[in-house]
Structure 1
Amino acid sequence: MNVFGDELSMAALRERTGDLASVAGVREVVLGNGVERGVRAVQLRTAAGLEVEVLVDRALDLGVARYRGVPFGWRSGNGFRHPGLHEHNDEGGLSWLRALDGLLVSGGLDHTLFGGEVAAEQYGYPPKQTVSHGLHGRLTAIPGRLLEAGEVWDGDRCTLRVRGEVVQAASFGEHLRLTRTIELDVDGRELRLYDVVDNLGFERTPHMFLYHLNFGWPVVDAGTEFVAPIAETVWRSDSVAEQGVSYRVQPDPKPGFVEQVHEHRLVADAEGRHRVALIRGDSTFGVEVTWDAATMPCFFEWQNLRSGQYAVGLEPSTHHVSGDAAARSDGTMTWLEHGESRAYRTTIRILDGAETTTATRDAIRRVAGQPEGNDA
């Protein structure tokens, strides 16, 4: 392990400190004030300076995220609202926007994207012919069950690990389970996210999944570049043409900015993974996100550049922007039979210094080129 610049074995580290928590570790806490009161969280901290908070009662999503004290996860101002405050059907299905905060807000498990009413006859319950969904589904407001939180040693290597499960279920409805594992090396600068979704029910059940990965200042700033191997942009929100802000290089915050969303078709690398990055204009700092292209083939770039909300979202997705009803109609919906599952692997890596950001940009551009402006 590299601890504060020294290469140390487990024995050497133990000679120098009586508690690993002096340099890195895992800590369980309960948030205690305001809308966050009662939310359980697990804080992970590496010797390299990576800090990530796992919100157990917010579907094991990711809250605060910092590197060497500098935030890279976005904070919206909503706070990490206790799930008991969430009203799923409120505000025309847009109440999810009151829960949107932190590095990762997951969408699913049976619905993502904008809400609406879809058929539910597969559940065989006559009073329930349809089901109504809000924006990005119900997952965000479901508390998780913590299964593991601690250090895992393998010889001289140590991994910080959190594992838990979230069950989304209704009588005469879906019965889906998300099992989530989050790992950081004790001296690492990357977070590894492993998710498995399986159908515990005995009815054929739709499955949609999306990661709303949110990055804020100072990773996102005037001049920050979005780097991606783009084959084409298959969809843009109307606001792109109306505002004309480049998808590629971010401006300063803009009062009243209307969110811009792009669905980019990405080219996978030789290992079958999609890779995208955000790199500051001075190339000193950035983040890279990689994931399996086969399981999450779709990708959205979300530009929320409004003053006070300033963020860029990188969103791997199982389905296209057209959403639930369209996926059922065109045959692209994922249906899980009893016992079937889908697995997902994603990595978030800190890019520290110009050498690392330049190498990452070059590696992504070797996969495929990238159009300027909004000409993709």
Structure 2
Amino acid sequence: MVELYGKTLSRRQVSERSGMLSQFAGVRLMTLGDGVERGIRMLEFRTGSGLRFTALVDRALDIADCDFRGQAIGWHSPSGFRHPGLHEYEGEEGLAWARSFSGLLLTCGLDHILFMNEVPADSYNYPPKKTVRHSLHGRVSTIPARLTGYGETWDGDRCVLWAEGIVQQSTVFGEDLHLLRRIEADVGGNEIRLSDRVVNHGFSRTPHMYFYHINVSHPVLDEGSRYLAPIRDVVWAGHAGERYEAQKVGYRTAPAPQLGFTEQVWQHELGADANGGVPVAVVNDRLGLGLEVVTRKHQMPCAYEWQNFQAGHYALGIEPSTHHVLGNLAARERGEMIWLEYGESRSYNAVFRVLDGAGEIAAAESRIAAIARQPREDYPRPSGHFPVLGGRS
């Protein structure tokens, strides 16, 4: 059954109330037409509950806009949703990724994440290519997808909005990795479901790294908004040491936008529920609005928290990852790099859930606390203990 406007409706009852489902909900393909966004294909999802979001077909099917009953959830940075044809992967000494950095979800990978690294290329068996130079967070987020389908599908009295596509990160004498992505949302629902599979389509043994850069914005993010997570240990903080408390911003509670704020990044060791789910949320108690993200511990065992409270760039990042924040070279040295042979794949699942009202926020907080109670202090001392990551071959 479909929950719409305070009623529980069958498929027939929905049809009786409109000539087309698109009156209430649906998926629509459009093309952006101006400025740096010109030419980008975009899918708009409307569930009928007040949840609206867009997926950029020409930007890896990443989620751009996201709002609930007119209240923004997804981040819009000054860079806008820039067309991938304008992107220079190796520009600005590897930092040009920031010129395409905007939206609720940016996917990072497929063979590299985190900061710039130069790594051996011997697995590609091409003598002139001694190394591979990687820029910030990898290539995938600025690669257009091949859209293989989208629409609305009824299963009895349940209706699912969906889209599927393939993002191909490939070169000669290098990686040939394909990302197969499916996005779903129920008509009448407040959740987005993401299902990804990364496949080695080539015949060279290829490294694989992956994480989701999920960026929550105002008004969910505001002064007093809270970060909720089942933290068993604070592993690392990029600003640890003399500057750990210098900006007077801990990991738990957001300040108002700041002038001259320097980003802060943490790595937390998170617990999982009985089903392997890892829930993390950002909540605004004043508005009664939040976003909860649930990933799978065995798929993405690491978790970062990104604080960008600079005025004009105001965002907080939920960042589940396959690897520690130590980076590409460290993953190789520690024996924790994921290596894919021909036809091998890794799958990833995530749920983005809008928390509507104090009751849903309280329920999410209870679910998270039942797994592990996060530190009460704002500045817990990082342990420096990076757990060994298994299942890497």
Give CA-to-partner distance per residue, 1:288-318, whole Å, 9 cap, x none. 0001100100000000000111110000000
1:369 match = 373
- Code of the residue aligned with 1:119 in structure 2: it is P
Offset of 1:242 from its aligned partner?
3.3
C-alpha separation in 2, matches of 1:268 and 1:16: 43
Identity of aligned residues (%): 51
Specify the SS of the correspondent of 1:57.
helix
Retained in 2: the 8 A contact 1:283–1:357? no
Matched position secondary structure for 1:303: strand
2:296 corresponds to: 292
2:386 corresponds to which residue? none
Partner of 2:196: 195
Asked whether the 8 Å contact 1:222–1:281 carries over to 2, the reply is no
TM-score (norm 1): 0.99
Aligned twin of 2:276: 272
Unaligned runs of 5+ in 1: none
For 2:264, the equivalent position in structure 1 comes to 260
- Which residue is 1:247 aligned to? 251
Deviation at 1:240, TM superposition (A): 3.7
Corresponding residue SS for 1:242: coil
* Deviation, structure 1 residue 208: 0.3
**Deviant stretches of 4+, over 4 Å:** none
State yes or no: 1:355 paired with 2:359: yes
1:223 maps to which residue? Answer: 224
Q: Which amino acid aligns with 1:134?
A: S
Tell me how many residue pairs correspond in the alignment: 376
- CA drift at 1:119: 0.3
For residues 9-158 of structure 1, the aligned pairs below 5 Å read: 9-158=10-159
CA distance in 2, matches of 1:241, 1:110: 34
Name 2:173's counterpart in structure 1: 172
Which residue in 2 is equivalent to 1:331? Answer: 335
Distance 1:259 1:347 in 2: 26
Taking the aligned partners of 2:106 and 2:366, their CA distance within structure 1 comes to: 29
Distance 1:90 1:146 in 2: 28
Deviation at 1:243, TM superposition (A): 1.9
Question: Are 2:314 and 1:310 aligned?
Answer: yes
CA–CA separation in structure 2 for the residues paired with 1:230 and 1:263 = 10
Q: Secondary structure at the match of 1:7?
A: strand
Per the TM alignment, residue 283 of structure 1 is displaced from its structure 2 partner at its CA by 6.1
Query: What CA distance in whole angstroms lies between the structure 2 residues aligned with 1:166 and 1:98?
Result: 20
Instruction: Output the aligned Cα RMSD.
Output: 0.9
SS in 2 for 1:235: strand
Q: Structure 2: how far apart are the matches of 1:309 and 1:166?
A: 28
Question: Hey, what's the Cα distance between the residues in 1 that align with 2:141 and 2:357?
Answer: 34
- The one-letter code sitting in structure 2 at the alignment partner of 1:57 is D
Q: 2:379 is aligned with what amino acid?
A: N
Cα separation, 2, equivalents of 1:369 and 1:9? 41
User: Cα offset for 1:375?
Assistant: 1.1
Tell me if structure 2 keeps the 8 A contact 1:283–1:358: no
Match runs of 1:202-213 below 5 Å: 202-213=203-214
Q: What's the TM-score once normalised by structure 2's chain length?
A: 0.94
The one-letter code of the counterpart of 2:365 is R
Q: Deviations over 1:351-374 (max 9, x none)?
A: 000111011111111111111202
Distance in 2 between residues matched to 1:322 and 1:375, nearest whole Å = 20
Aligned counterparts of 2:50 and 2:78: Cα–Cα separation in 1: 24
Q: Unaligned regions of 5+ residues in structure 2, if any?
A: 382-393
Partner deviation per Cα, 1:170-224 (whole Å, 9 max, x = no partner): 0010000000000000111000000000000001000000100000000000000
Work out whether residues 166 and 178 of structure 2, in 8 Å CA contact, stay in contact via their aligned partners in 1: yes
Distance across 2 between alignment mates of 1:319 and 1:346: 17
Tell me how far 1:7 sits from its aligned partner. 1.1
State whether residues 272 and 297 of structure 2, in contact with CA within 8 Å, keep that contact through their aligned partners in structure 1: yes
State the alpha-carbon separation in 1 of the partners of residues 142 and 230 from structure 2.
Answer: 33
| Equivalent residues of 2:206, 2:341 under 8 A apart | yes
Query: 2: distance between equivalents of 1:320 and 1:61?
Result: 23
Query: CA shift at 1:69, angstroms?
Result: 1.3
Instruction: Quote the Cα distance in structure 2 between the aligned partners of 1:125 and 1:279.
Output: 50
